[in-house]
Structure 1
């Protein structure tokens, strides 16, 4: 691989007292503030997802020591706790929203913890946070048939466009899983880049619809976070995660093949 590897940080909830469903992938407000301060102290340059992808698409040089700060789902703590810290440092970020989990007229009631409302999402956008797509009901997209997949993407994308006045251009796959079918559907829905998980650094060679991220958890300590930012020991620190992901991906592909075979017999 050539070029500059970029750590794309994947956050979920930022909360002092998350519930059991979100605790493992939540980050305490104090820890988040310390992590953002470290990004500043190390002289890294935060970018939005759209900005990174545009640099790579047009082969423009990246700024010094780029890093991406991303949030999935749409938890209320991103507005309450993360936005003031981001604003303090002047850091842009990207929030990938599951539109059916945002409180308001489109709410399905499926949000696993305290979720944002649309006024808060608009305030985040006004504060320099790119708002991207993350589906409507947060399904496993690679398990849907073509019709259901297209409908899920169209519904969530339409809501984001109506609520924010602009078509979103960046997407993150729920649960981090995708397939060739899913990536093509995301592209057809009008997104120009999409993020997976993978727990490894992002490279241009991964392609705009399969950029990898690294997970920040409640147990991520300062030393581990610094290693991650400096691109050191990422392979070692996330080796178990990647092995589990690859194993589960094989199971998911086998299930998908079986479902297609059953549908062809009907």
Structure 2
């Protein structure tokens, strides 16, 4: 067992988890998930989770007595919420979310928010950049070399993680130079065939698809609240902000598919700066969540809301430590000490970034 695990186990045994929960009882716990992995083995940590682990998380929330409330209630300073109120947020809107998370949430009667990126939802094509990450992740069997279509380097070795990362970087550069998603999809399919993978199965089982319009409408009818995540999962295009247009396009699709006006926003890939806040205000956005780890303090900046980034590799003990507030108190202590000055970030794996 790791030193961290042993220290957390001692803290729980000494009653520090209970104490931290009481001390942080007024701070909502906003959980962040992405999707459920539909393929072989497992791919991703904070990006995809196994259905079994997600169901277990919901069981633990009930077992530990964390009341699950809506995002709207949690971020509204005027709405009373119970101590240690918990919010469940899910980014992107993957098919695995629809197939596994939505039914599990319904069984528990838990409200949840899905921040939907609508471009690939409408197109019903694989999300190219995530499929590329999988292809070069080492989670699938690859030949020792691969020819990258359109590249001049010839056969590229794939034997080590560094070589796969270099190959992925080359492909991403090629993708970025292509004028539209049709050509990016064609390049992706060529790479998959070159690697010897069964693309027809990946496509048929929709490993890298987002929910369709029909699935979004059905999930909304079952209590899922769909909110803003930009249309094309980006906030910058050609070096300039495209946030307002992305929100407008995103909102139009969500209204058409669910019949309700989304009011809350999640920064794609957690990328944001203060210059965006005036645009969010003008767009009528009520709150914006980040990928920064932490508990939300009601009344703090509503466009810089931290979350608890849960993942497949997060143990139950670590999850309990985050929910209790022990790790939040440790983060606050670290920031208050001189040694913590200038230290930022949570160490959490960043969400995928895409630019159709």
Cα shift at 1:39: 0.3
- Check whether the contact 1:141–1:177 (CA below 8 A) recurs between aligned residues: no
Partner of 2:118: 99
Cα shift at 1:120: 1.2
Partner of 1:119: 214
Correspondence 1:1-266 to 2 at 5 A: 4-17=26-39, 22=44, 24-54=46-76, 56=77, 58=78, 60-102=79-121, 104=122, 106=123, 110=127, 112=130, 113-141=208-236, 145-146=240-241, 148-234=242-328, 243=343, 245=345
Rounded Cα–Cα distance in structure 2 between residues aligned with 1:18 and 1:186: 39
Rounded Cα–Cα distance in structure 1 between residues aligned with 2:106 and 2:227: 19
CA gap 1:166/1:107 in 2 versus in 1, 3 angstroms: same
Which piece of structure 1 moves more, 135-144 or 113-122? 135-144
TM-score normalised to structure 1 length: 0.79
- Check whether the contact 1:48–1:129 (CA below 8 A) recurs between aligned residues: no
RMSD (Å) for aligned C-alpha atoms: 3.0
Partner of 2:15: none
Q: Is the partner of 1:94 in helix, strand or coil?
A: strand
Cα shift at 1:71: 0.5
CA gap 1:134/1:5 in 2 versus in 1, 3 angstroms: same
Rounded Cα–Cα distance in structure 2 between residues aligned with 1:246 and 1:143: 29
- Check whether the contact 1:18–1:26 (CA below 8 A) recurs between aligned residues: no
Q: Which of these two proteins has the greater Rg computed from alpha carbons?
A: 2
CA gap 1:142/1:188 in 2 versus in 1, 3 angstroms: farther
* Aligned residue pairs, count: 240
CA gap 1:245/1:205 in 2 versus in 1, 3 angstroms: same
Q: Is the partner of 1:65 in helix, strand or coil?
A: coil
CA gap 1:142/1:12 in 2 versus in 1, 3 angstroms: same
Q: Is the partner of 1:87 in helix, strand or coil?
A: helix
Larger RCO (CA within 8 A; separation ≥ 6): 2
- Check whether the contact 1:101–1:109 (CA below 8 A) recurs between aligned residues: yes
Rounded Cα–Cα distance in structure 2 between residues aligned with 1:178 and 1:217: 22
Rounded Cα–Cα distance in structure 1 between residues aligned with 2:70 and 2:292: 19
Give ranges in structure 2 of 5+ residues lacking alignment.
Answer: 1-22, 131-207, 335-339, 348-356
CA gap 1:143/1:175 in 2 versus in 1, 3 angstroms: farther
Q: Is the partner of 1:181 in helix, strand or coil?
A: helix
Cα shift at 1:114: 2.8
Cα shift at 1:219: 0.2
